[in-house]
Amino acid sequence: MKRRGRPPHEKTTENAERVEALCAYGMDHVTIAAMLDISHDTLTKYYRAELDIGKSKVVEQVANSLKRNAMNGDVQAQKFFLSSRAGWAEKQTQEITGKDGEAVKIEHGIAGQRVKSLLDQIAK
């Protein structure tokens, strides 16, 4: 008796490399399966290792490139690396002064008097 349906899928090196690359680019499994004209189940059955390693490989390559750039003096790469891996953060402060560096003068209208009254109550 003749078998019905598609012939069994045969895994190729070319498709394995393609699956790994597409996964590394961030494509979801359903899209990758459609691009290979196979079902999601067939994709995961034959290309499980490529799906698992694809993203990790590209992350490793980018991390190595970032590290290399940072070590070669790229200040932006150094800042990014230290902020994401070492907990460093740039802090910005801003000071506001009035005329000639004096304190800012605030004129109180009716609303300002109410705010001043509330602030005085909080300060007590």
Q: For 19-33, what is each residue's pLDDT tens digit?
A: 999 999 999 999 999
**pLDDT per residue as tens digits for the range 74-90:** 999 999 999 988 888 88
Amino acid letter, 118: L
Residue of 26, 16, 22, 14 lying closest to 47 (CA atoms)? 16
Say how far apart CA 122 and CA 116 lie, in whole Å.
10
Say how far apart CA 19 and CA 27 lie, in whole Å.
9
pLDDT at 12 over 70: yes
Give the number of other CB atoms < 10 A from CB of residue 56.
Answer: 12
| Portion of the chain with pLDDT greater than 90, in percent | 56
**pLDDT per residue as tens digits for the range 64-120:** 999 999 999 999 999 999 998 888 888 888 888 888 888 877 666 666 777 778 888
State pTM to two decimals.
0.55
Tell me the CB-side half-sphere exposure of residue 10, using CA atoms within 13 A: 2
Contacts of 107 (CB under 8 A, 6+ apart): none
